[in-house]
Amino acid sequence: MSGAEARSGTAGNHAFDRTTDVSLSGLPVEQPPAGIVHDLGNLIQVASSALNLVARDPSVSTAPALEPVIASARTALQRAGALVRETVGRAAASHRTPGHASVGACLAEVESFVQSTSGTNFRLEVRVERDLPAAICDPLGLQNAILNLVFNAHDAMPDGGLISLSATAVVQDPGTVVELRVEDGGVGMTPETVLRAFDLFFTTKGTGLGGVGLPMVKHFAESHGGRVHIESAFGSGTTVILRLPAMEARQD
């Protein structure tokens, strides 16, 4: 991709425990009371402190099987904390006019989050077109949507592999859009699965709460005047394409 900046990183296969994937923040639900959000934040902080104490216990080093369990728990708490911050941000944003998001900054934060889980079983490559216009959307919602797509890509590659994130500007009628692509070389989807992929709670996974991430991404895109669709073939990987209106395209 010409005129783009590329970065890459790695993350472990234990990093994304999908049994904790209960992010409903993009769906049309009522905002929880501020007191509940505050209490959740406190509980997450307590749990994180307890987990850090457990991780520092010398006995953990003699039980290698505990390391991926602790890593998954830490990642789940990080995601829970991010969702609390997003909920607070959404509550504040509901009283403001629609904002804009620096896609490059958003992808950099996603990359940092993935790299913080360490490991070497798959590689994350990020490519952002130079001078990319801002997207007209909620920045926190965009970050959460991209994270969900990365988690799905990870799940599709049980043996590891490359996940590519790219962002470019595309000129189309009636104006410019920011196009984000999340590509993996995983198991892919059948045509039937592609048709149902955005149905709430539809999942091909046998455990955990599935079928939430993609509907959230779809709601996020459409609520900001964008679109999302899937290109996939069974055995040949999947590409999810998210398009959002660019700042330059907005008509006052």
Summarize pLDDT for 41-86 with one digit per residue, the tens: 767 777 777 777 777 777 877 787 887 788 778 777 777 777 766 6
Give pLDDT, residue 210. Answer: 55
Task: List the domain boundaries for the chain.
Answer: 23-96, 99-252
pLDDT at 20 over 70: no
Please tell me the pTM assigned to this model.
0.65
pLDDT at 9 over 50: yes
**How many whole angstroms separate alpha carbon 38 and alpha carbon 20?**
20
Is the backbone peptide bond immediately before 174 cis, with ω within 30 degrees of 0?
A: yes
Strands 122-129 and 161-172: parallel
Identify the H or E element spanning 167: strand 161-172
User: Looking at 42-56, 95-109, 176-190, 216-230, which range is the least confident one?
Assistant: 42-56
Strands 175-184 and 238-245: antiparallel
Residue with tokens 């009283």: 95
Residues 6+ apart with CB under 8 A from 72: 14, 15, 16, 17, 20
212 within 8 A of 201, measured Cβ to Cβ: yes
CATH 1.20.1050.90 fits 99-252, yes or no: no
What values do phi and psi take at 251, rounded to 5?
Answer: -105, 125
pLDDT at 118 over 80: no
User: Looking at 48-62, 85-99, 153-167, which range is the least confident one?
Assistant: 85-99
151 within 8 A of 209, measured Cβ to Cβ: no
User: Looking at 41-45, 92-96, 137-141, which range is the least confident one?
Assistant: 92-96
Residue with tokens 């500007």: 169
Question: What is the percent of the chain where pLDDT is above 90?
Answer: 29
Q: Give a three-class secondary structure readout of 171-204.
A: EECCEEEEEEEEEECCCCCCHHHHHHCCCCCCCC
